[in-house]
Amino acid sequence: MGESADQINQKETCLTLREICFQAVREHYAALGIQAVIDLPTPLIKDLLLHLTVCQLDELQPALNKRGISTHAGWIGILQEMRGLNHAINFHTEEEAKQEVMRILFTLIFYGYSSQFVQKNITNLNTPSFLLTAAKCIKYFLLDTTVESLTADRRHLLKLLEKGIRTVCVSKCMDLSDRTTDLFVLHRLLDHGVARKVVMDVQCSLMLSWILLHRGSQFVSPELRCLMQKKMATCNLQAYSASADRASCSLCIRTAASEDQDDHIPCKRLKLDCVEEKESGKANRSVDLQVLCQSFAPSEGPSAGACPLGRIESLEIRKCRSDSFAVLNNALPTCFYLRSLTLHSIATFRDTDVLGLAKALKQLTESSRCSLTELSISILPYTGLVEFLLDANPNLTSLHVEIQTAMVGSRLLLHHPGAEDPDMPELPLEKLSVKVAELQQTDLHFIRTVLRHCPHLTSLHVAGMRLPTGSSQNLLLSTLSGSNRLLTSLHLEDVKLSDCLPEILNLLRDCKLEELRLNDCRLLERWSDKQESLHQLVTALKMLPSLHTLSLAQNRIAKHVCVLADLFSGPSPSPLKRLNISSNFILPAELLEFSKRLRRHPPPQRLTLDLRKNPGDRDPDTWSSALQKLQPFCVSLVEEWSSSNTMADYISNM
């Protein structure tokens, strides 16, 4: 029977009163106290989470966790409000979601940036209590515009940031020729704090040289050395004219009496001191960090001795150019503490820069003190340079390369001594990612050779390997089946696999995959019986008891999506936790049928289902009905979709 008008009005009235009560708790939270909220029934608390402020959520989280209640829904709700309906939120734990909320909001409030969410919640966010709460949570700090307040009225924030920040992102050039709060804050985070990762999001080789100096390398760039000498001359002049003003020079250069006179004139050559300061006995610290510290906070500077020097263990350069390579390639041989190096550019790197990098890596490796095991570099001009990098550091356990094939005429005519050697040594690689626009058969042969010599490989990501017409990727899959049986994560993207179903099934029988992503692989393109072939794939996937993540995005599964519901049927359902079927041109009626089948055979555990970039607006009511049927056993990731946008439709059909 249908509901009467009175019943409907009564429900709407109850919902309105419920909302009013939630808002009252939010507004009078301080007067009510934590215990009043904790004592509420669990279902009521879960609904209340979506109405609390950031600080209230943070304060309640420990007590709620003790009751077995997660604040995940509250943090996700805040992220959805900040980003809008067009962005699906995919954070699986409350801590991940909380970190993202705090990172975004701290940056917005601290630097005074505006957003609709901030304007709406300005009363609760633009307060000292919020910044303190966020500063205790965040691990990532963006050094942008002015940070002068951290040396004045917000000095207490800097103390908290020193204790928690693990990554510092530098997005502005700093003036090394004068005292700056930027240098002081960077020094406190890197040297007095626990930050061990630096992200350079600005083109400034001089700044890069200063950051690396004595925090992982002994190299001093010519530009920095000349700047140091100028500052030394200025400091000497100040000391001569007024010794009382000596402390005002925050970048005073400390030199050893035993140094050669040649070092006191403008530098015209590179100088690489491969021996650490404590071993050489030279007080060659180029920037007197103690003076810098005491000039901003005299009472907090160490009473005796020098400021500590942090160790940079991870370095990421997002706008890497030749001048960056000039500094990095000279600094690397003494970067003994560096564990991870990421170099990225929107333009293709020059051969000479990459070969210089390989030479520097080899010097570092030969020092026997090398700790670098992770390397990510993009964009290489051709695949052959990968071998030089692998040879330079045979201890790499993680390698990520992006290759944009340059014109053959632009390549240097190089012959690597081991390029034709079939006895390539066994490589300790555990993670390998190769993204390339177009491969030749010789390039595919090289990649297969690398794979055959990586028996410990657990994670592989291959993207964009477009072979010439008539070629097949079956050799790649056969290599994986025979040589890489420890794989737990396989991600193939923009790799044509429509003629490789037998090899895919064979691979699934011989591996222990936990994550499988076959995105934009045109799986169904050449299958004569798409329904039956997809059923064979599903049957093979069900035989993997370790598989928890599956992505089949951009494969135009469309009306055949119902076959995927069979993943959870039968006596041995798949243990999947996450299923991505986005960008598959799944119509509302097809999703509804999928939801009905899934309802008959629900997943053994709550499933995160990615449905983004599917044309749900073709029939909004049917789409909404399908989502409602999925709700009891799925967390559906959806976005607003407009089929009137022909480009969006085209992308979904790719």
Q: Is the peptide bond before 379 cis (omega within 30 degrees of 0)?
A: yes
CB 301 within 8 A of CB 191: no
- Rounded Cα distance between 290 and 333, Å, is 27
**pLDDT for res 494:** 93
For residue 567, is it within any domain? yes
93 exposure class (CB count in 10 Å sphere: 0-12, 13-18, 19+): exposed
C-alpha 637, offset from chain centre: 20
Write the CA distances from 263 to 110, 252, 267, integer angstroms: 43, 16, 7
Residue 103 lies in a domain: no
How far apart CA 302 and CA 294 sit, in angstroms, is 8
Residue 486 lies in a domain: no
Q: Considering its fold, how many domains does the chain have in total?
A: 3
Amino acid at 117: F
With contact defined as beta carbons under 8 Å apart, do 402 and 378 qualify?
A: yes
Last residue of a domain, one of 267, 296, 311: 311
Dist CA 593 CA 607 (whole Å):
17
Burial pattern 96-111, b for ≥16 Cβ within 10 A else e, equals: ebbbbbbbbbbbbbbe
Which residues are CB-contacts of 572 (< 8 A; sequence separation ≥ 6)?
542
- Quote the CA–CA distance of 167 and 170 in Å, as a whole number: 10
Residues 132 and 252 in one domain: no
Does 132 share its domain with 264?
no
Report the predicted TM-score, pTM, of the whole model to 2 decimal places: 0.84
CA angle 494, 496, 497 (to 5 degrees): 125
**Domain shared by 157 and 22, yes or no:** no
Looking at the fold, whether 289 and 153 belong to one and the same domain comes out as yes
Contacts with 583 (C-beta within 8 Å, 6 or more apart), sequence order: 553, 554, 612, 613, 614, 651, 652, 654
Q: Are residues 131 and 159 in the same domain?
A: no
Q: Is residue 446 part of a domain?
A: no
Residues 460/490, Cβ–Cβ less than 8 Å = yes
Q: Say whether both 185 and 91 belong to one domain.
A: no
User: What residue spans of 336-440 are helical by DSSP H?
Assistant: 351-366, 384-392
Gap between the Cα atoms of 479 and 451, Å rounded: 7
Question: Are residues 69 and 160 both part of a single domain?
Answer: no
Q: What is the pLDDT of residues 26-60, one digit of tens each?
A: 999 999 999 999 999 999 999 999 999 999 999 99
Task: Give the end of a domain, one of 274, 292, 311.
Answer: 311
Question: Within this chain, do residues 130 and 181 fall inside the same structural domain, yes or no?
Answer: no
Q: How far apart are CA 161 and CA 131, in angstroms?
A: 11
Give residue 649's domain range: 558-654
- The sign of the torsion formed by the CA atoms of 252, 257, 258, 264 equals positive
Which residue type, as a one-letter code, is found at position 232? Answer: M
**Whole-angstrom distance, CA of residue 631 vs CA of residue 606:** 10
| 444 in a structural domain | no
Answer yes or no: do 159 and 278 share one domain. Answer: yes
Which residues, at least 6 apart from 597, have a Cβ–Cβ distance to it below 8 Å?
A: 562, 565, 566
Phi and psi dihedrals of 381, rounded to 5? Answer: -80, -20
Please report whether residue 441 resides in a domain. no
Domain membership flag for residue 16:
yes
d(CA 358, CA 349): 13
In this structure, what is the dihedral angle of CA atoms 44, 50, 51, 52, given to the nearest 10 degrees?
Answer: 100
Place of tokens 């990762």: 197
Q: What's the number of CA atoms in the CB half-sphere (13 Å) around residue 205? A: 19
Ranges of residues in the chain with a pLDDT under 70 are 1-16, 85-86, 178-179, 227-288, 297-305, 406-423, 438-441, 645-654
Q: What angle do CA 166, 153, 144 make, to 5 degrees?
A: 45
Residue 270's alpha-carbon distances to 207, 226, 267, 329, in angstroms, are 17, 11, 8, 12
Question: Does residue 627 lie within any of the structural domains?
Answer: yes
Residue that finishes a domain, picked among 261, 283, 311: 311
Does residue 129 share a domain with residue 48?
yes
From the list 538, 604, 547, the residue with the least C-alpha distance to 571 is 604
155 shares a domain with 85: no
The reply to whether 50 and 155 lie within a common domain is no
Cα–Cα distance measured from residue 207 to residue 189, given in angstroms and rounded to the nearest whole number: 16
